[in-house]
Structure 1
């Protein structure tokens, strides 16, 4: 956090704010207003409270903006000589697999030869959880101010942004193989997000997609892989637990598939702007681990975004890795083309 330390200048500034001002008019007519000394209480935030009171009493908000638009910084008094206080707005973001906290800052940001003035950003001071510790954020490229034709094939399909809070757009039907599912026949809302690793959607729909590709819950596979030599009673208990785990959602919403069955699995496609964007089994299945302990994870994960933001599909890295994505801020649209 930044700290402001002002001495005599701040004292004078606060005096000008906290007390009425003696001023002259063009015709030299003097207006005299008596000054009153206010005893400073060093044990509370008198300076900040007095500033609020002055804004209300003397109508200073007419020049400074509405009271609710003003950020009041509570100042602490040190020996009537220094006034200091923290000036960072706090920031907290909750992700699907982690969270950060910190504060907002502003600076001129230079990207290549492009300078973005007064860019607001978040300085992260706390990143709880294992995600930011072990994850390797690398790969791909971000291009500002245009498109590199070496990164894509053919023409882009553009759709308008329907909500400015996200790069949100209307998505059409979801297809399994070449057959329509009707899951988004009436239209679905989607966003494209590089901060999401997988491809998420409402639980009820994702469950149908994973069922169609032959995926099952992660926990059931974990139990099966850890079977030991058991007696008949223990086997029955284990089988019951397997059935129970298959009905429970996985901790992060993932499901697994048979690594040997990719060749027989169908493609999954999304209709965007009237065009079909297809993901093959090799593209929507991630292999985790090696050898006998390897698992194949479906990238289709359940994530329910509550209203009014949701329900939402989030097309994350697995989608953006296959389809070159353009964020056209000037025209408020998103474009997709096959990645080169």
Structure 2
């Protein structure tokens, strides 16, 4: 049926109005999208500048020997992604645990948004990841992230090359390396090495007391309990022929596990502020509350049961012990 002249004019005007509204709304959407992209990019750049300024101030104050209030400088500069990287057997687990607990303390008010994981990334708001293969994570790691490293002067030539190549890859991405923990220094300072991270995370002295309390007992459990206990202590529990002692009895690095009532240490650990505050949170269980990521849940008797099982069944490292 043919349209009348007036009807045709109404139809044309309706089409014009629809097209006009479409282009106006599409233009507004694109403008809004560009604004948010620009705003997000600017925010990322601002955060990165703030972090770099914080690192520079710490370095300058350390050189001048004025570090009494260094922790105040970096409050609010902790990024959403933190990675711990190192060659195995260079105290990587200790650094990972320190980073996890420091991050938990920083974001204590929104703690369920913090996650600590070994060799895998989760979708928490703030993530602390431990890995021995940094190349796996670098392509997708945001530039404003932090990557902490462990090292040792006694690395093999192959591992030295691997570590140096990894550092060059990190620096090429322009990602901040706030701290490199040397194994010799860690051995001399023990769990007090955690104080090195206080200014980086902007932690108060009160929060650091909770962290040091936690690692006072965790350090003993790490050496004297669980699937990854000290090889020397494992050999004391389950002796092997031709075993070569790693640490001399008179060395500060000797674990001396036989001097501890391990169940009492475990109970003291379970009663620390940090464990009571964070130990029940599922996204933190890879780090907080256990001697290692592969151990079971502590309950006051786990370590004693584990030691007894190793002595009886002669199980090896990383095998079930309780």
Interval of TM-score (by shorter of Structure 1 and Structure 2): under 0.3
What's the TM-score once normalised by structure 1's chain length?
Answer: 0.18
Q: Which has the higher helix share?
A: 2
Greater C-alpha radius of gyration = 1
What's the TM-score once normalised by structure 2's chain length?
Answer: 0.19
